[in-house]
Amino acid sequence: MTPTSTEIVPDREAWEVYRLRLVCKILAELCHEQIIIPEPIHTDDSAGAGGSVHPYTVRPYTVRPYTVRSDDGRTEYAFDAQVLALDSWSIPASSVRRHVDGVGRPLDPVAIIVDFRVALGLTEPQGGDDLAAYLEELINTLALGAGRRGQRRTSAVSLVCAGGDRVAAFQAIEAAMTEGHPCFIANAGRIGFSVDDLTRYAPEFGPRLRVTWLAVWADDVEFAAMAGVDYDTLLDDELGVLQRARFDATLVEQGLDPADFRYLPVHPWQWANHVARLFAPEIGSRRIVELGRSDDEYQPQQSIRTLFNRTDPARHYLKMSLSITNMGFTRGMSADYMSATPLINDWIRNRIGGDEYLRSIGFEVLYEVAAIGYRNPAFTSATNPGSEYRKSLAALWRQSPVPLLRDEEALATMAALLHVDQGGAPMVGALIRASGLLAREWLRRYLDAYLQPIVYLLYAHELKFSPHGENLILVLKDGVPQRVILKDIGEEVFILGACDDLPPECARARSIEADESRNLGILSDVFDDFFRPFAALLHEHGLVDDDDFWWEVAASVNGLSAQLPELVERFARWDLFAPTFGAIHLNELQLRNRRRMADHAVPYSAMVAAGHELANPIAGRRASAIRGELSTTTAGA
């Protein structure tokens, strides 16, 4: 059933839950990035024998009271916190208090950003509009989290125990996610969507939609594909012969020759709100012809411009231009960029496709097999590459994970490991209970499935990806991680090593990175960006202690390095047990450059925040991190 616009209006209970969650996340991330520095409130047990407690003391994990004041000093926030590894602030929502001029005030995520706008760099003259734009994204993020009505909320246990149709269960999990990116605060702005658009197209509502197909004059279109994939076969497979024949007939009826055109899918919102207006001259001259909606129905994914085929799940994902703003920049796609994407995927497949180790552990990649993009003659001549006017009409086809499933296996986005349902139950706890394993043993299985191949790709093949929750799919059996499937290759890969055979048009994937910062591909992208919030969640819910979590991470890295003596020199040079590593402040980067946070041409190390070193939580555990007795933590504790 298609949701209605009234369903996004938050009810009181949901608003309270997500308002407080976002308050805690804002405070925790601003503290983590040292945008604000809380002062410890000294009590008899916190000050000790006249000593002070530094707010970034990692151990012991004592809950202590802290306070922080707004830019103008008038507003005080007081809260309790445990400071876990990696400056990870664990703040109970029930402990947070806000006082303005000494008078208690309600907690408000929007007010926090306004209170610290100077610290965030959102001040006049350069920050006035930026502050308002950021607040709009923040408010939209909050409204999306709180705006799902009770009948559309699914408990963590129900998601894990769905049973039956594996595809339906996979997509039910995709639609249930509410947390967004674990580090970015304003991560679901969706600027450009109306309230009705959200219910039609946002992944949180699990809608089914049909994409619009266009016929575009072939001279204005660029199609690129991986080796072994051609345009006609791809279209016949994705459209079906009958639907393609109908599209051909539509052109013939207008006196046009199908051979003069290429068929291109477009998101229905993009067609109605952008393409149909921007390219009206070409539509009028019939260089662009609307063919109609797809027979197949699709479901939006967390990566909102990516759609999963619900009619035939073995068919490819579709990823299409979507000119809405999310996390600070427009989600368009250009022919310039798409033309090289399949070639990059080809190069990656040639590099790792025959790797025996990856094959032995069941590691898979969803390749982006083909892409198509429109080059409007007028806008191409009037703009430079990178212009938003070149990103209005393009699409790519990515392999589906469904054909890769084995007997009794299930799929779930890795983002689900950070999901907490409306009642406060974490999905990872439900997975652990379903597995029947001790929580720490479950964690070991997960690290073997996820961490080890990601480390291996960096150290054996010198490839750095962006392996956060949304970019990985977990393959589960009875709740236990078996292996992982990596996606989003062409946009996210950094090729660090020798690549003389890389086609010149794929140069954007090449990255120069010094030895001393190569390990950031794991220490920052995995440890800080995903393991930090994951470890905190396990710790807060009594599943795995934070210290035990990092012992298991150290043991997993040790276990992999022991299997790969041929890589001992690289493990030493790009040391994952280094005492410290430079922090990358993602929210600060987003606020500093709201159009483009990362550039492959710039060394990754250039994003490191000046003067902020994080203590590596596995430093000093190289020799002693062996897998011994299990924790006494019980499954599902």
CA 225 vs CA 28, 341, 364, 506: distances in Å? 44, 8, 19, 13
Give the model's confidence band at 6: pLDDT under 50 very low, under 70 low, under 90 confident, else very high: low
Residue 195 CB coordination number (10 Å): 15
Mean pLDDT of 569-585: 96
Which of these ranges, 321-335, 431-445, 620-634, has the smallest mean pLDDT?
A: 620-634
Mean pLDDT of 63-78: 96
Residue 598 CB coordination number (10 Å): 15
- Digit-coded pLDDT (tens) for 384-439: 998 999 999 999 999 999 999 999 999 999 999 999 998 899 999 999 999 999 99
Give the model's confidence band at 513: pLDDT under 50 very low, under 70 low, under 90 confident, else very high: confident
Residue 210 has a pLDDT of: 98
CB 435 within 8 A of CB 635: yes
Residue 54: pLDDT over 50: no
Residue 69: pLDDT over 50: yes
Residue 148 has a pLDDT of: 62
- 164 or 226: which leads in pLDDT: 226
Question: Strand 39-40 and strand 463-464: pairing?
Answer: unpaired
Give the model's confidence band at 8: pLDDT under 50 very low, under 70 low, under 90 confident, else very high: low
Mean pLDDT of 552-568: 96
Residue 469 has a pLDDT of: 87
Residue 324 has a pLDDT of: 94
Residue 627: pLDDT over 80: no
Which tokens is 196 given? 């009705």
Residue 595 has a pLDDT of: 54
Highest-confidence range of 14-23, 122-131, 538-547, by mean pLDDT? 538-547
The phi and psi torsions of 545 (rounded to 5 degrees) equal -60, 145
Residue 592 has a pLDDT of: 77
Residue 230: pLDDT over 80: yes
Highest-confidence range of 10-14, 315-319, 511-515, by mean pLDDT? 315-319
Residue 37 has a pLDDT of: 96
Which tokens is 35 given? 């945008």
Q: Classify the C-alpha dihedral 319-324-329-335 as positive or negative.
A: positive
Give me the chain's average pLDDT, please: 90
- Digit-coded pLDDT (tens) for 140-167: 999 887 776 555 578 999 999 877 899 9
pTM for the whole structure? 0.93
d(CA 145, CA 178): 5
- Digit-coded pLDDT (tens) for 118-143: 999 988 655 458 899 899 999 999 98
Residue 633 has a pLDDT of: 41
Residue 512: pLDDT over 80: yes
d(CA 263, CA 271): 14
Closest CA to 517 of 586, 452, 582, 610: 582
Which of these ranges, 121-130, 243-252, 523-532, has the smallest mean pLDDT?
A: 121-130
CB 213 within 8 A of CB 263: yes
d(CA 213, CA 265): 4
The phi and psi torsions of 298 (rounded to 5 degrees) equal -125, 160
Residue 634 has a pLDDT of: 41
Closest CA to 554 of 632, 418, 452, 453: 452
Mean pLDDT of 544-550: 97
Mean pLDDT of 238-244: 96
d(CA 112, CA 380): 43
Which tokens is 324 given? 């809405």
Question: Strand 364-365 and strand 480-486: pairing?
Answer: parallel
Domains annotated on the chain, with CATH: 5-146 (3.30.310.280), 208-401 (no CATH), 413-615 (1.10.510.40)
Residue 10 has a pLDDT of: 61
Residue 99: pLDDT over 60: yes
Q: Identify how many contiguous H helices and E strands the chain contains and give both numbers.
A: 24, 25
- Digit-coded pLDDT (tens) for 598-617: 555 566 778 899 899 999 99
Residue 106 has a pLDDT of: 96
Residue 630: pLDDT over 50: no
Residue 2: pLDDT over 90: no
Mean pLDDT of 246-268: 98
CB 226 within 8 A of CB 338: no
Residue 59 has a pLDDT of: 47
Residue 95: pLDDT over 90: yes
d(CA 65, CA 40): 6
Which of these ranges, 115-119, 201-205, 606-610, 631-635, has the smallest mean pLDDT?
A: 631-635
d(CA 505, CA 119): 41
Residue 464: pLDDT over 50: yes
Residue 125 has a pLDDT of: 53
Residue 601 has a pLDDT of: 59
Residue 243: pLDDT over 70: yes
Residue 154 has a pLDDT of: 87
